[in-house]
Amino acid sequence: MLKTKMNLDKLVSRTKIYLVIIAIILIVLTIIEPKTIIPAILTYVLVVIYTIWANNKRKTEISDHINELTLSVDKAAQSTIINSPFPLIVIDTNGNIIWKSSNFIKEFANVDIKVTLNDVIKELKINVEKDKDTNNISICESMQIGEKNYKIIAEYTKIREREHKNSSEYMTTIYFLDETNHIKLLQEYNNSRTCIGIIVLDNYEELMQRTTEEEKLKITSDAEKSIYAWVNKYNGLLIKSERDSYVCIFDQYHLEKIKEDKFEILDEIKEIKTNDNIQLTLSIAISEDAKNNLDEYKSAKAVIDIALGRGGDQAIIKQNGKYYFFGGRTQEVEKRTRVKARIVAQALEELMNGVSNVIIMGHTNSDIDAMGASMGLYRIATTIGKKAYIVNETNGTSLDSFIKDLKETKKYEDVIIDKNEALAEINEDSLLIVVDTDKKNYVEVPELLEKTEKIAVIDHHRRGTDYIENAILTFHEVYASSACELVTELVEYADKTIKLDPFEVEALYAGIMMDTKNFTFKTGVRTFEAAAFLRKCGVDIIKVKKWFQSDLETYNKISEIVANSEIINDTIAISIYDKEDSDANIICAKAADELLTISNITASFVIGKMDDKICISGRSIGDINVQLILEKLGGGGHITVAGAQIEGMTQEEVKQELINRINEYFTEIS
C-alpha cells in the first residue's frame, strides 16, 4: 500500500512537469507566431482539464485497490489469530481478558495462570513507563506453568490517548510457546557433558619417606580403595596417571550431585593415618569449562595447581567461568625435603644471568615481609653482578622506621624506586620478581607485569583464582611462614656464596618475626632453621624490635578498637575502626592480633576505612579458617591470617556481610 501511494505521488509530480513543459512550448510558439495565442490557450485548457480528470480516475482506482487489499489483510490477520496453533490471549490496559484462543482454553483448562499473567503485565507496565512515547512495546520471558515450560511473548500496542488524563490505553497480545521438549533436550545434553578431574595425594612423598614398606602398601591400597569407591559412586571413570595422581571423568549430572555432597572423600581419606598419626590428604580439581576434552584436561591441570597452592586438602570445581571451593580447613603440612628450594635457587640464578636487570616488587601496602624478601633477592642479584631495584611506594606505620633506616644507609640510596622509575627501568629483557603475593591486581605496580615476559613469583599465601599465570618460575609454598623464610632458603642454597649485609639479614629476620607474630603462629622446623641461619649471619635483635614498636597514639587507637569489639558465635570478635586514617590497614591488623590475646577468642575481624575502600583484617588461632571466610568477600591469605578490601559499601554493610559469611562458613562445616 505504501509503495502504491509512493507511485501515485510520483505520477502526479511527473504530470505537473509535463504541464509546465507544454506551457513553455506554447509560450515560445505564440512569441514566434502571435496569431496562435488563442488556439494555444484553448489547447492548454483542454490539456489541463483532461489531466485533472485522468488523475482523479487513477486515484479512485488506486483507493479501491488499497481498500480491497486492506480488507484482505484484516481477514487474513483475524483468521491467523483465531486459528493460532499456539495459545494466545488479548487483554486490555487494566488486565481484563478481552479474548482467548481455543488453544489457550484447551491448554490451560486445569491450570491457574493468574499469577503468571500478573507477572507479565507488571513487567510490561515497567517497560511502558520507561518509554511512554513508543506505540509498540514487547517482552519475551521464559516461565514454568504447571508441569510445562513456556516462552511468553507479550506485545503492548497503544490504541489511543485517554482524554483529560496523562495516560494511554493499550491492548496486549500474549503468546504462549511451549518449549518443554526443547528445555528437556537441552537439560539432557548438559547432563551428558563430560567433566574431567584430577586427584592428587598431597603429602604422598612425605609419607613414603617416613613409613615402612609394609605401611606404604597399606596406605596406598587404602587410599586407592577409597578413591575408586568414591568415583564409582558417581558412575565416573578413574585412571591412575602417576604414583600420587589420578584422572577421573564424570557426567555433568553427577557433578551436581558431587557438589551437593561437598566431596565427602576429603574427610574419608583423612581417616587413613600412619603409625605416627600423620593424615593423608587429597586435592581434587574438576573442570567443566571448555569446549572439548583436551581443553578441559588442561583447565583441570591449572585448577589443581590452585588447589595445591592453597595448601591442599580441598576440592575446586571450575564451572562456567566460576570457581567453587570445598574443604581446605586443615593446616598446611610442612615439607621436610628442601630439594625444591635448591632447584629454584639454581633456576633463579640462571634466569638472572640471562637478563639485563632485575626489578623486585611486593604487594600494595607493602610490609616488612615483602621488603625483607626483596632485600634478600636484591643481594642475590647483585652478587651475580646484575643491577637490581626494589619497587616501593608504601609509607606508613609498618614501614616508617624500616624505610628511614634503609634510606640512611648510603649503599641503598638508589635501590628503592617508585612507579615511574620502575616503568622507565624495565624492558623486555628484564627479570621481574614478585614477592609475598601472586595476585595480578595486588602487586605494587600492576603495569610492570605487561612490560616483560620474564616473571618469577615467590609467595607463601594460599593461591587465589586471579594468580599470575605467565610466570616462568614459581616458588609457591603455603607451608612457609613468610616470604622471607623462602628467600632465606634461596640464599642458603644458591650456587654462589651469598654474603648478606647486616641490614639485609635484619630485614629477612624481621619479615619472619612479623608473619609468625614473634614465632608463635605458623612456625615449622624450617622456619626456625631459617631463623637460625640468619642468627648465624648476625642479627641485631634490638634494632629489629624497634621496627615493630608502635607510638602511644597508635597504641591508644588499638586499645579503643579492642574496647569497642563485640562477640558473635561465642568466640569470634568483630570491631570497627571508623576513623579516616592512612594507616588504617596496619592499625586494624595490629588490633586483630591484640584481640586474639583475649581468652576464649578463637578468631577476630577488624573493619577499617582506607581511602575509598573498606579493609578487613582477619586473625585466628587455627580453629577457624579466616582465609575461607574472607575469600568470599574477595580477599585471601592463610588459615590464621587473612585480609580483604571492599569497595562500594559502608562499614556497617561490610560488617553485616562479614557476619553472613561467617554463618555460611559454620553452616558448610556442620
pLDDT digits (tens, 9 = 90+) for 72-108: 545 555 565 666 677 877 877 666 777 777 777 787 7
State the Cα–Cα distance between residues 460 and 334, nearest whole angstrom.
Answer: 12
Cα–Cα distance, 227 to 243 (Å, whole number): 14
Question: For the chain, which residues make up each domain, given as ranges?
Answer: 2-82, 88-185, 194-327, 339-547, 552-669
Sign of the CA dihedral running 75, 78, 82, 84: positive
Amino acid at 613: K
Q: What is the DSSP string of 498-546?
A: P---HHHHHHHHHHHHHHHTTTTSS--HHHHHHHHHHHHH---HHHHHH
Q: Given pLDDT bands bounded at 50, 70 and 90, which one contains residue 333?
A: low
Percent of the chain with pLDDT over 90: 21
- Overall average pLDDT of the 585-594 stretch: 87
pLDDT exceeds cutoff 80 at 561: yes
Residue 531: which residues within 8 A CB-CB, separation 6 or more? 509, 512, 519
* Size (the chain), residues: 670
Rounded distance between C-alpha atoms, residue 377 and residue 360, angstroms: 8
Q: What is the CATH number of domain 88-185?
A: 3.30.450
User: 306 falls in which pLDDT band (50, 70, 90)?
Assistant: confident
CA dist 603 and 662 (Å) reads 11
304 or 329: whose pLDDT is higher? 304
pLDDT at 374: 93
The whole-angstrom separation of Cα 584 and Cα 582 is: 6
In DSSP terms, 319 is beta-bridged to 288, 322
CATH for 339-547 (3.20.20.70, 3.50.50.60, 3.90.1640.10, 3.90.1580.10)? 3.90.1640.10
The answer to which of 129-143, 364-378, 394-408, 508-522 has the lowest mean pLDDT is 129-143
- Euclidean distance between CA atoms 272 and 211, whole angstroms: 13
Using CA atoms, how far apart are residues 344 and 665, in angstroms rounded to an integer?
36
What phi and psi, each to the nearest 5 degrees, are found at residue 127? -65, -35
- Give the single-character DSSP code of 645: E
pLDDT of 488 strictly over 90: yes
pLDDT at 3 over 50: no
pLDDT at residue 253, rounded to an integer = 82
- Side-chain-side CA neighbours of 627 within 13 Å: the count stands at 23
Residue 498: alpha-carbon gap to chain centroid: 41
Tell me if domain 88-185 and domain 194-327 are identical in fold. Answer: no
d(CA 152, CA 175) in angstroms, rounded, equals: 6
- On whether the CB atoms of residues 625 and 328 are closer than 8 A, the answer is yes
Least confident of 51-60, 251-260, 400-409, 536-545: 51-60
**Segment among 388-402, 564-578, 599-613, 622-636 with least mean pLDDT:** 388-402
Q: Quickly tell me which residue has 496569431 as its cell.
A: 35
Q: Rounded distance, CA 436 to CA 512, Å?
A: 12
> Where residue 164 falls among pLDDT bands split at 50, 70, 90?
very low
Average pLDDT of the residues of the chain = 81
**HSE of 43 in the Cβ direction (CA atoms, 13 Å)?**
13
Cα distance between residue 307 and residue 284, in whole Å:
7
What pLDDT is attached to residue 4?
44
Determine which helix (DSSP H) or strand (DSSP E) holds 647, and give its type and residue range.
strand 641-647
Provide CB contacts within 8 A for 186, sequence distance 6+. none
Architecture of domain 552-669: Roll (3.10)
pLDDT range class, residue 169, cuts 50, 70, 90: low
Q: What is the mean pLDDT of residues 522-526?
A: 82
Residue 63's pLDDT is 61
Q: What is the pLDDT of residue 11?
A: 47
Residue type, 627: Q
Split at pLDDT 50, 70, 90, the class of 330 is low
| Grid cell locating 321 | 567461568
Separation of alpha carbons 655 and 533, rounded Å: 43
Contact by Cβ (8 Å): 565, 573: yes
Q: What is the mean pLDDT of residues 579-588?
A: 81
Mean predicted confidence (pLDDT) in 202-212: 80
Average pLDDT over residues 554-570: 89
Q: Express each pLDDT in 109-148 by its tens digit.
A: 777 777 677 776 676 666 655 555 555 556 677 777 777 8
Q: pLDDT band for 1, please (50, 70, 90 cuts).
A: very low
Q: Are strands 168-178 and 245-251 parallel, antiparallel or unpaired?
A: unpaired
- Tell me which of 276 and 261 has the higher pLDDT: 261
pLDDT over 70 at 163, yes or no: no
Q: Which grid coordinates are listed for 239?
A: 585412571
User: What residues have CB less than 8 Å from 634, skipping those under 6 apart?
Assistant: 644, 645, 646
**Residue with the three cell numbers 591470617:** 641
CA distance 288 to 310: 21
* 165-175: burial string, b at 16+ Cβ within 10 Å, e else: eeebebebbbb
Exposure of 56 in the CB half-sphere (CA atoms within 13 A): 6
Q: Please say if the pLDDT value at position 352 is more than 60.
A: yes
Amino acid code (one letter) for 461? H
Which residue did the predictor score with more confidence, 588 or 157? 588
CB 81 within 8 A of CB 87: no
Q: Is the pLDDT of residue 534 over 80?
A: yes
User: Is 153 exposed, middle or buried (CB count within 10 Å of its CB: 0-12, 13-18, 19+)?
Assistant: middle
Range with the lowest mean pLDDT among 282-291, 323-332, 408-417? 323-332
Instruction: Note whether 473 and 435 are within 8 A (CB).
Output: no
User: Alpha-carbon torsion 532, 534, 537, 540, what sign?
Assistant: negative
Q: Look at residue 178 and tell me whether its pLDDT is greater than 90.
A: no
- Most confident region among 378-387, 397-406, 617-626 by mean pLDDT: 378-387
DSSP state of 89: E
Q: What is the mean pLDDT of residues 232-255?
A: 89
The predicted model gives 247-271 an average pLDDT of 86
Angle (CA) 139-145-149 rounded to 5° is 70
Max avg pLDDT among 123-132, 231-240, 274-283, 407-416: 231-240
Of the candidates 159, 129, 153, which has an alpha carbon nearest to the alpha carbon of residue 140?
Answer: 153
Over 70: is that where the pLDDT of 166 sits? no
Which segments within 328-385 are labelled E, that is strand?
A: 357-361
- In terms of pLDDT, which residue wins out, 330 or 229? 229
Rounded to whole angstroms, the Cα distance separating 85 from 596 reads: 71
pLDDT at residue 9 greater than cutoff 80: no
Of residues 490 and 157, the one with the higher pLDDT is 490
pLDDT score at 356: 92
Cell digits of residue 368: 616488612
* Average pLDDT score over residue span 268-291: 82
Q: Is pLDDT above 60 for 312?
A: yes
Residues whose CB falls within 8 Å of the CB of residue 378, separated by 6 or more in sequence, listed in order: 358, 360, 388, 390, 415, 504
- The beta strand positions in 526-623, using DSSP E, are 566-568, 572-580, 603-610, 613-620
What cell does 41 get?
A: 490557450
Q: What CATH number labels 194-327?
A: 3.30.70.270
Backbone angles phi, psi at 238, to 5 degrees: -120, 135
Q: Is the dihedral of CA 647, 650, 652, 653 positive or negative?
A: negative
Q: Residue 644: helix, strand or coil by DSSP?
A: strand
Q: Three-class SS of residue 446?
A: helix
